[in-house]
Structure 1
Amino acid sequence: MYDYVIVGAGSAGSVLAARLTEDPDVTVCLVEAGPADTDENIHVPAAFGELFRTRIDWDYDTHEEEALDRRRVFLPRGKVLGGTSSINAMLYLRGNRLDYDGWGQPGWSYDELLPYFRRSEDNERGADAYHGAGGPMSVSDGRSRNPLSHAFIDSALEAGYAPNDDFNGARQEGFGFFQVTQRNGRRCSTAVGYLHPAMDRPNLTVETHLQVHRVVVENGRAVGVTGYRLDEEHTIRAEREVILCAGAYNSPQLLMLSGIGPADHLNLLGIPVVQDHPEVGRNLQDHPLVPLIFTTSQPVSLLGADDPEFVRQFVEEGRGPLTSNGPEAGGYIRTRPELPAPDVVFFSGPLMFADSGLGLPTGHAITYGPVMLTPRSRGTVTLDSHDPTTKPNIRHNYYQDPDDLRTAVDGTRIGLEIARQKPLAAYTDGMLRAPASESEADLRAFVRAYTHSIFHGTATCSMGKVVDAELKVMGIDGLRVADVSVMPAPGRGAPNATAIAIGEKAA
Structure 2
Amino acid sequence: MYDYVIVGGGSAGCVLAARLSEDPDIRVCLVEAGPMDSAEQIHIPAAFAKLFRTRLDWDYDSHDEPYMNRRRVYLPRGKVVGGTSSINTQIYIRGNQADYDAWQQPGWSFDELLPYFKRSEGNERGPSRFHGADGPMAVSEGRAGNPMSTAFLEAATAAGYPANDDFNGSEQDGFGAFQLTQQNGMRVSTATAFLHPALSRPNLTVETNVQVHRVLFEGSRAVGITGHRLDEEVTFRAEREVVLSAGTYNSPQLLMLSGIGPAGMLRALGLPVVLDQPQVGQNLQDHVLIPLIYPHEHPISMLAAGQPEHIEQFQTEGRGPLTSNGPEVGGFVRSDPGLPAPDLEYLAAPVMFVDNGLGVPDRHALTFGPSLLTPRSRGSVSLASEDPTAKPRIVHNYFAENDDLRTAVTSLRIGLDIANQVALKPYTSDPFRPPASTSDADLRAYTLRYAHSIFHPTSTCAMGSVVDEQLRVTGVDGLRVVDASVMPTVVRGNTNAPVIAIAEKGADLIRGLQQPAETTDDA
Counterparts of residues 5-404 of structure 1 (less than 5 Å): 5-404=5-404
Q: 2:517 is matched with which residue?
A: none
Q: CA-to-partner distance for each residue in 1:168-227, whole Å, 9 max, x for gaps?
A: 000000000000100110000000000000000000000000010000011100000001
Name the CA distance, whole Å, in 2 between partners of 1:415 and 1:138: 31
Identity %: 65
TM-score (norm 2): 0.97
Distance between the aligned counterparts of 1:100 and 1:270, measured in 2? 39
* 1:442 alignment partner AA: D
Name the amino acid aligned to 2:109. S
Letter of the 1:432 counterpart: F
Deviation, 1:95, is 1.2
Say if 1:8 and 1:30, in contact at 8 Å, map to a contact too: yes
1:422-461 equivalences in 2 (<5 Å): 422-461=422-461
AA in 2 matched with 1:433:
R
**Counterpart amino acid of residue 428 in structure 1:** T
Matching residue of 2:513? none
- Unaligned segments of structure 2, at least 5 residues: 508-523
Q: Is the 8 A contact 1:399 1:405 kept in 2?
A: yes
Q: What's the offset of the Cα at 1:428?
A: 2.5
**Distance in structure 2 (CA, Å) of the matches to 1:428 and 1:446:** 18
- Cross-structure match for 1:467: 467
Would you say the 8 A contact 2:33–2:212 is kept in 1? yes
What amino acid maps onto 2:368 in structure 1?
Answer: Y
SS of equivalent residue, structure 1 residue 431: coil
Tell me the CA shift for residue 500 of structure 1. 0.2
What CA distance in whole angstroms lies between the structure 2 residues aligned with 1:161 and 1:194? 37
How much has 1:54 moved relative to structure 2?
A: 0.3
Deviation string 1:263-296 (CA, Å, 9 cap, x unpaired) is: 0111111101000001000000000010000111
Offset, 1:145 = 2.4
- Tell me the amino acid that sits aligned with residue 463 of structure 1: M
- Number of corresponding residues: 507
Q: Secondary structure at the match of 2:222?
A: strand
Q: Distance in 2 between matches of 1:408 and 1:374?
A: 11
Name the structure 1 match of 2:420.
420
Cα distance in 2 for residues equivalent to 1:427 and 1:6: 47
Q: Is the 8 A contact 2:294 2:427 kept in 1?
A: no
Secondary structure in structure 1 of the residue aligned to 2:270? coil
- Give deviations 1:20-47, integer Å, cap 9, x for gaps: 0100000100000000001100000000
User: 2:443, 2:88 → 1: CA distance?
Assistant: 29
| SS of residue in 2 equivalent to 1:430 | coil
Deviation at 1:313, TM superposition (A): 0.8
- How many angstroms apart in 1 are the aligned matches of 2:42 and 2:487? 27
Provide the rounded CA distance (Å) in 1 between the counterparts of 2:408 and 2:428: 23
Q: Given that residues 347 and 371 in structure 1 are in contact (C-alpha distance below 8 angstroms), is that contact kept between their aligned partners in structure 2?
A: yes
C-alpha deviation, 1:447, in angstroms? 0.5
Moved over 2 A (4+): 426-429
The one-letter code sitting in structure 2 at the alignment partner of 1:156 is A
Superposed CA offset, 1:469-503 (max 9, x none): 00000011000000000001111021100000011
Greater shift in the superposed pair: 426-435 or 181-190: 426-435
On the 8 A contact 2:365/2:427 being kept in 1, the answer is: no
Residue identity in the other structure for 1:440 = D
1:229-272 deviation per Cα after TM superposition (whole angstroms, max 9, x unaligned): 01110110000000000000000000000000010111111101
* Kept in 1: contact 2:301–2:351 (CA 8 A): yes
Could you tell me which amino acid in structure 1 is paired with residue 497 of structure 2? A
CA offset at residue 317 of structure 1?
1.1
SS in structure 2 at match of 1:400: coil
- Aligned-partner Cα distance in 1 for 2:266–2:153: 50
**Structure 1 CA distance for aligned equivalents of residues 369 and 145 of structure 2:** 18
- In 2, Cα distance between equivalents of 1:505 and 1:493: 20
Match of 2:514 in 1: none
Secondary structure of the structure 1 residue equivalent to 2:369: strand
Q: Deviations over 1:401-434 (max 9, x none)?
A: 0000011110001000000000001233311110
Is the 8 Å Cα contact of residues 374 and 492 (structure 1) preserved in structure 2?
yes
CA contact (8 A) 2:366 2:427 kept: no
Query: Take 1:430 and 1:128, find their aligned partners in 2: how far apart are those partners?
Result: 44
Structure 1 residue 315 displacement after superposition: 1.2
Q: Is the 8 Å Cα contact of residues 153 and 176 (structure 2) preserved in structure 1?
A: yes
Please report how far the alpha carbon of residue 133 of structure 1 lies from its aligned counterpart in structure 2 after TM superposition. 0.7
Q: Secondary structure at the match of 1:67?
A: coil
Structure 2 letter corresponding to 1:415: G
Q: Is 1:93–1:167's contact at 8 Å kept on the other side of the alignment?
A: yes
Displacement of 1:310 after TM fit? 0.5
Following superposition, the deviation at residue 388 of structure 1 comes to 0.3
Q: Is the 8 A contact 2:420 2:428 kept in 1?
A: no
Q: Secondary structure at the match of 2:67?
A: helix
Distance between the aligned counterparts of 2:479 and 2:270, measured in 1?
23
Q: Provide structure 1 residue ranges, at least 5 long, that are not aligned to the other structure.
A: none
RMSD: 0.5
Taking the aligned partners of 1:241 and 1:40, their CA distance within structure 2 comes to 34
Asked if the contact 1:297/1:428 (under 8 Å) is kept, the reply is: no
CA distance in 2, matches of 1:474, 1:488: 15
Measure the CA separation in 2 of the matches of 1:319 and 1:257.
Answer: 46
Offset of residue 297 of structure 1: 1.1
TM-score (norm 1): 1.00
Per-residue deviation, 1:463: 0.2
Rounded Cα–Cα distance in structure 2 between residues aligned with 1:308 and 1:369:
31
Determine helix, strand or coil for the equivalent of 1:33: coil
DSSP-derived class of the 1:66 partner = coil
